[in-house]
């Protein structure tokens, strides 16, 4: 059997799940099998990755997802890889392409690294591993963050989209999820008085005018065409200036 056959046998039987562990002594949670480039592109399109957003790939492999996210979508990306050889290979590719300031390669275990900065998370793991990483994603990811998984669902989550793509002699499934909840900026009292004494540029002013204690960061992002990340940064600036009290997170 080739590595490839081994992998699909394992996938079918889900023998990497802890139940099978005594029979199959796997040092890592998931073996390296790359996502075909066409599927990578579609995953990033479905997640609607925008310029300046932060994309995390759990398990870099050869780095193809984070590299495409940076080069074709203008993202700031990061990936976490547990295998030293693959970490070094990705790091080398990133350096050769001059992407060091846009792609961060982390040598480590994705169960142990913080994911709280992500706008988009991509995964090509296994259903059993998705099940194990799910509580961490629910804890750390902000409302509105998109999670895209190649071939394996996240048990218990309702996908927004499931798409089938035929590539490299087989069908690939892409699952798109969105972390539920809202982030609502709350204006300070006497905002009208306070705003008279500060000078704000047009972008800050546009965002401030939309803050009413009901609208979420996602709604403000849709209205202004700014990314949620950019709106959040502006709101945090407005908090520092005393014009916004807080961002209330409802999960
Ligand atoms: C199926 S491959 C996917 C690679 C890449 N994301 C892609 O889609 O082309 C899974 C990768 O996750 C890595 N991996 C497995 N368990 C890991 C863990 N706990 N922390 C970090 N990386 C891990 C493997 O070494 C492998 O490179």
Minimal-distance CA residue to ligand 1 atom 5: 61
E strands, 128-230, are: 146-150, 161-167, 170-178, 182-187
Minimal-distance CA residue to ligand 1 atom 15: 30
Task: Give the span between the Cα atoms of 10 and 16, in whole angstroms.
Answer: 7
Minimal-distance CA residue to ligand 1 atom 2: 32
- Token duo for residue 101: 């300031």
Q: How far is CA 135 from CA 111, 131, 146, 241, in A?
A: 10, 8, 15, 35
**Cβ distance 71 to 97 under 8 Å?**
yes
What's the predicted TM-score (pTM) here?
Answer: 0.89
* Same-domain pairing of 129 and 213: no
* Same-domain pairing of 187 and 173: no
Per cent of the chain over pLDDT 90 is: 83
pLDDT, one tens digit per residue, over 126-166 is 999 999 999 999 999 999 999 999 999 999 999 999 999 99
Of 128, 143, 178, which residue sits at a domain end?
178
Of 130, 163, 178, which residue sits at a domain end?
178
Count of domains for the chain: 2
Assign 74 a pLDDT band (cuts: 50, 70, 90): very high
**Cβ distance 50 to 70 under 8 Å?**
no
Assign 22 a pLDDT band (cuts: 50, 70, 90): very low
Residue 35's CB: how many other CB atoms inside 10 A? 24
Q: Give the residue numbers spanning the domain of 138.
A: 3-178
* Block residue for tokens 């669902």: 153
Cβ of 106 less than 6 Å from ligand 1? no
User: How wide is the angle at C-alpha 79 spanned by C-alphas 77 and 83, nearest 5°?
Assistant: 160
């Amino acid at each position: 059997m080739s590595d490839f056959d081994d992998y699909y046998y394992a996938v079918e039987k889900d023998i990497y799940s802890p139940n099978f562990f005594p029979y199959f002594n796997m040092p890592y949670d998931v073996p390296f099998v790359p996502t075909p480039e066409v599927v990578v592109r579609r995953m990033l399109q479905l997640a609607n990755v925008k310029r300046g957003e932060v994309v995390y790939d759990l398990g870099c492999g050869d780095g193809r997802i984070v590299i495409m996210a940076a080069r074709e979508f203008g993202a700031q990306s990061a990936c976490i890889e547990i295998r030293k050889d693959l970490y070094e290979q990705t790091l080398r590719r990133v350096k050769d392409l001059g992407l060091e300031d846009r792609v961060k390669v982390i040598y480590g275990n994705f169960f142990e690294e913080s994911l709280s900065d992500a706008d988009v998370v991509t995964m090509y793991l296994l259903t059993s591993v998705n099940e194990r990483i799910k509580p961490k994603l629910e804890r750390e990811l902000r409302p509105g963050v998109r999670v895209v998984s190649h071939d394996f669902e996240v048990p218990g989550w309702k996908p927004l989209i499931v798409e089938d793509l035929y590539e490299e002699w087989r069908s690939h499934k892409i699952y798109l999820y969105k972390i539920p909840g809202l982030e609502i900026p709350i204006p300070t009292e006497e905002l009208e008085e306070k705003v008279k004494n500060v000078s704000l540029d047009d972008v800050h002013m546009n965002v401030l005018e939309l803050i009413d204690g009901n609208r979420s960061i996602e709604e403000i992002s849709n209205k202004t065409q700014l990314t949620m990340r950019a709106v959040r940064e502006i709101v945090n600036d407005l908090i520092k200036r005393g014009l916004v009290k807080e961002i209330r997170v409802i999960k």
